[in-house]
Structure 1
Amino acid sequence: MAFPKTETVPDALRAWSVNWSEYAPVDITPPALRPDSLAREVPDWAEGAASPTDVANWRQRQDNALVPYALDERGWPLHPHGRTGRTGRNLGRWAENAAADPIVVAGHGRHRHLLLITREDIEVEAIPGGMVDDGETAPKALVRELQEETGIDLAGHQPVILSREIVDDWRNSDHAWVASTSALYQLPEQVTALAADDAIDANWWPFTSLTHLDAAITAAGRTLYAAHRPLLRRALDHLDQH
């Protein structure tokens, strides 16, 4: 799948406090989320607001956000990390879209392996995570997403919460982005994983370092999802320290 083109954002102009009158972000809104389509039918995974102006509960959303963000003079949410080169919405909600990423590791030391899925949308190797449903907590979403995409039920396991942060998702824009709760599950040995839902494959990969993980994935003719690299690096740091 081809990723959307973006306006290149120099580091010096990324902050919203810096004036950039020539800034022309690329609209990445897919047809299903454009105003005319939303007026006819709202997808079951998205809210019906055609623009941030149509959202009435900004104070509540800001209070519940994993990562704080501000609104501009129009009342539109601003990506906490600054300009992205993209505008519009290719996610279910305006502003923060909460996700849950369960990092499942089996074994210890040089025998460690990591569970990854092949994502159906962009066909790369990724953590078997997904979006938190309305009214759902992140811990419940971690268990649900893992079971839906791999068939593995870890409801009885207590994970280590590693981070709550914005991830560099390809769908992020100036006004809609993904913030993830990542959690580490440690198993004594590998268990059977069966790809389902948004996954087209599920496999265990060597996980002694990111270098070894990259080498194994590349040797198989596949690619590791770049947005998940910081999450996996944090998991490795935790494992190496405990």
Structure 2
Amino acid sequence: MLELYKRLDQPTREETIRLGRLGVKIDGLGRPVNPHFVQDFGHKGLVQGKGMFYYWGPNHTVDPVVIGQENNTPKVLTIVRGDNGLLALPGGFIDLGELPLSAAIREAHEETGLDISQDPHETIYNGQVNDPRDTLHAWAETTAILFRHDGCPPVIAGDDARPGSAVWLPLAELVEASLHGAHAMIIAKAMQRYHELAQPTTR
């Protein structure tokens, strides 16, 4: 039974080959090693396996940062996660074959009811992020997209957001809040870019 468990708790040969081609470090059992933990490889205190993730290696997520203005104050669209009770952006996993932009629009609508499909947008971050679900062999890589929305219309929490938690919050309140994963870093990048875009251009 132990040997069967060991075989099940490691990638297939095809998965190992695919991850190797992506340049991911592979251990002696064919498992990918989290780049953030390479120096601690073999450390017994680290959670091994896929943990709560779907895939070995990188698990691709999307984080839409939707910013609107109310009374001349920029506000960020947020929800409270149903799994850990932390304030968060209305993001999630990218479905197989789905583009990050499509996933961002879908997640925002599922979790807040807001349509951001026509909003001006740009990618502000793409890469690995610290996530509380990270293990030695599976981790999150996100695409964060800034959306500039017209105003701050009413929103309704849905999907896996805590009921009644969707709300627009000013930066001052977000600075004091406990945010999920790397969302504080992502929001800071988004706000910086938002203010850059708001500056008048000089010729």
Both structures adopt the same fold (TM-score exceeding 0.5) = yes
1:174 to 116, 120, 136: 136
Structure 2 counterpart of 1:22: none
Structure 2 counterpart of 1:204: 168
Aligned-residue offset at 1:155:
1.9
Aligned-residue offset at 1:88:
2.0
CA contact (8 A) 1:167 1:228 kept: no
Aligned-residue offset at 1:76:
1.1
State the distance in 2 between where 1:166 and 1:56 align. Answer: 23
Percent identical: 27
Question: Do the aligned partners of residues 52 and 109 (structure 1) sit closer, same or farther apart at CA in structure 2, a change above 3 Å counting?
Answer: farther
State the distance in 1 between where 2:100 and 2:141 align. Answer: 11
State the distance in 1 between where 2:141 and 2:54 align. Answer: 13
1:241 to 187, 196, 200: 196
Structure 2 counterpart of 1:85: 46
Say whether 1:56 aligns with 2:14. yes
Structure 2 counterpart of 1:45: none
Question: Do the aligned partners of residues 110 and 158 (structure 1) sit closer, same or farther apart at CA in structure 2, a change above 3 Å counting?
Answer: closer
Q: Secondary structure at the match of 2:14?
A: coil
After superposition, give the CA deviation of every residue in 1:143-177 in whole Å (9 maximum; x if it has no partner): 11111111112222341101112121111001011
Structure 2 segments unaligned to the other structure (5+ residues): 198-203
CA contact (8 A) 2:94 2:103 kept: yes
State the distance in 2 between where 1:154 and 1:62 align. Answer: 37
Which consecutive segments of 4 or more residues in structure 1 shift more than 3 A? 57-63
Structure 2 counterpart of 1:73: 28
After superposition, give the CA deviation of every residue in 1:91-117 in whole Å (9 maximum; x if it has no partner): 111111000100000028961001100
State the distance in 2 between where 1:110 and 1:213 align. Answer: 17
Structure 2 counterpart of 1:151: 113
CA contact (8 A) 2:75 2:169 kept: yes
Please give the root-mean-square deviation of Cα atoms over the aligned residues, in Å.
Answer: 2.4
State the distance in 1 between where 2:20 and 2:151 align. Answer: 41
Q: TM-score, normalised by structure 2?
A: 0.81
Q: Number of paired residues?
A: 184
CA contact (8 A) 1:76 1:175 kept: yes
Say which structure, 1 or 2, has more relative contact order (CA 8 Å, 6+ apart).
2
State the distance in 2 between where 1:98 and 1:224 align. Answer: 19
Q: TM-score, normalised by structure 1?
A: 0.68
Question: Do the aligned partners of residues 96 and 109 (structure 1) sit closer, same or farther apart at CA in structure 2, a change above 3 Å counting?
Answer: farther
Question: Do the aligned partners of residues 109 and 87 (structure 1) sit closer, same or farther apart at CA in structure 2, a change above 3 Å counting?
Answer: farther
After superposition, give the CA deviation of every residue in 1:95-141 in whole Å (9 maximum; x if it has no partner): 11000100000028961001100000001100100001112111111
